[in-house]
């Protein structure tokens, strides 16, 4: 699989929009191969001696652990860098930080608020920069989602994915991921909480290559009707805690529960990037039920992370 790695080497992963449908398919295929190697205890130390720096302004469970374990299993090492421990927290420019870290590291993963900051880091870094999450996009999560759907359904193209909830970073990257892989996507969000129009326009352009259909709706029932995959996310993301009580009222009709999923296909699967606020965006009987694939989805963060790291570094 790594025979075509030169097309990826040294590139950044800031957005799935920057990768072609064939390239995303290649990443998913490699992730599946590396997952199989791990299950069979076949070593795959493609990054022996490599060091990844991981900058965290937003805390995380899955992102930190999956990237750190991924580097270890690939033969390399990962270094946790809390943004408050860096000179970034004392006024050093992002550009200067990028130049310095590039002299020490083979790659940088950053999980932060501002997408513009990640773009600035990538502009000045001479090593690959990977977007571990921003307020705008969450590409690594959606690669894991796509791998999970592919494993459960055997394909991606032609399936319908319904996203119900806030038009946030997960929603934005799902729009790109579905558009790049030929999946149809229906998004249901309340007025005032829809995905950004600029992201939708870019995704629609991507969809022209694959035949993907994109719908932006307000009705969760309409979005979920006939869906093969149902996805949601928390109603108030990190940094939006002050809006929690208002958002709970606004999003109450968008809860993923047995009544709503009754409109999906009988063999639908449920995905959630986690952490979940049980009883808010999803009920226990759905996230713990027979249609839930969230634990496979969480595990697949590790395998797609390994594929991305092996290719870019």
Residues 6+ away with beta carbon under 8 Å from 224: 162, 164, 186, 188, 230, 260, 261, 263, 264
**Residue 126 labeled ligand binder:** no
**Residue 255 labeled ligand binder:** no
Taking each continuous run of H as one helix and of E as one strand, the counts in the chain are 12, 9
Question: Phi-psi category of 129—alpha, beta or left, where left has phi over 0 and alpha has psi -120 to 50?
Answer: beta
Q: How far is CA 168 from each of CA 37, 208, 299, rounded to the nearest angstrom?
A: 34, 23, 22
The one catalytic residue in 12, 172, 291, 301 is 301
CB 286 within 8 A of CB 18: no
The one catalytic residue in 73, 106, 115, 141 is 141
The one catalytic residue in 12, 17, 111, 172 is 111
**Residue 169 labeled ligand binder:** yes
The one catalytic residue in 233, 247, 291, 303 is 233
**Residue 140 labeled ligand binder:** yes
**Residue 61 labeled ligand binder:** yes
111 labelled catalytic: yes
**Residue 62 labeled ligand binder:** yes
233 labelled catalytic: yes
Determine whether 3 is exposed, middle or buried from the number of CB atoms within 10 Å of its CB (0-12, 13-18, 19+): exposed
Output the 3-class SS for 187-215.
Answer: EECCCCCCCCHHHHHHHHHHHHHHCCCEE
**Residue 273 labeled ligand binder:** yes
Residues 6+ away with beta carbon under 8 Å from 113: 57, 58, 134, 135, 239
**Residue 71 labeled ligand binder:** no
CB 291 within 8 A of CB 162: no
**Residue 244 labeled ligand binder:** no
Report the C-alpha gap between 162 and 233 in whole angstroms: 12
Tokens at 245, concatenated? 């009580």
141 labelled catalytic: yes
Report the C-alpha gap between 115 and 29 in whole angstroms: 28
The one catalytic residue in 17, 138, 184, 303 is 138
**Residue 111 labeled ligand binder:** yes
**Residue 138 labeled ligand binder:** yes
301 labelled catalytic: yes
Report the C-alpha gap between 2 and 118 in whole angstroms: 27
Q: How many CB atoms are located within 10 Å of the residue 190 CB?
A: 18
The one catalytic residue in 171, 273, 291, 305 is 273
Report the C-alpha gap between 69 and 78 in whole angstroms: 8
Report the C-alpha gap between 308 and 237 in whole angstroms: 25
**Residue 263 labeled ligand binder:** no
**Residue 274 labeled ligand binder:** yes
258 labelled catalytic: no
The catalytic residues are 111, 138, 141, 233, 273, 301
Q: Which residues are annotated as a binding site?
A: 60-63, 87, 111, 138-141, 169, 233, 237-238, 273-274, 301
Q: Which residues are annotated as a binding site for L-ornithine?
A: 169, 233, 237-238
Q: Which residues are annotated as a binding site for carbamoyl phosphate?
A: 60-63, 87, 111, 138-141, 273-274, 301
């Amino acid at each position: 699989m790594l025979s075509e790695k030169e097309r990826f080497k040294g590139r950044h992963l800031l957005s799935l929009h920057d990768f072609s449908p064939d390239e995303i398919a290649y990443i998913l295929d490699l992730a599946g191969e590396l997952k199989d190697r791990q299950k069979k205890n076949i070593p795959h130390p493609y990054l022996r001696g490599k060091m990844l720096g991981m900058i965290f302004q937003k805390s995380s469970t899955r992102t930190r652990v999956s990237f750190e374990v991924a580097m270890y299993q690939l033969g390399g090492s990962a270094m946790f860098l809390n943004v408050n421990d860096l000179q970034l927290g004392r006024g050093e420019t992002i550009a200067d930080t990028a130049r310095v870290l590039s002299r020490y590291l083979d790659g940088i993963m950053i999980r932060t608020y501002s997408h513009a900051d990640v773009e600035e880091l990538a502009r000045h870094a001479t090593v690959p920069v990977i977007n571990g999450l921003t307020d705008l996009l969450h590409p690594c999560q959606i690669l894991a989602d796509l791998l999970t759907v592919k494993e459960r359904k055997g394909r991606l193209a032609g399936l319908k994915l319904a996203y119900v909830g806030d038009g946030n970073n997960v929603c934005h990257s799902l729009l790109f991921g579905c558009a790049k892989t030929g999946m149809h996507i229906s998004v249901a969000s309340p007025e005032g909480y829809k995905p950004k129009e600029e992201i939708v326009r870019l995704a629609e352009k991507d969809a022209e290559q694959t035949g993907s259909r994109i719908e932006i709706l307000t009705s969760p029932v309409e979005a979920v009707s006939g869906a093969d995959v149902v996805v949601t996310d928390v109603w108030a993301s990190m940094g939006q805690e002050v809006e929690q009580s208002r958002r709970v009222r606004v999003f109450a009709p968008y809860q993923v529960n047995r009544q709503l999923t009754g409109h999906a296909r009988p063999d639908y699967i449920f995905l959630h990037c986690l952490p979940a606020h049980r009883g808010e965006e999803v009920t226990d009987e759905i996230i713990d039920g027979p249609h839930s694939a969230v634990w496979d989805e969480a595990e697949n963060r590790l395998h797609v992370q390994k594929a991305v790291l092996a290719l870019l570094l």
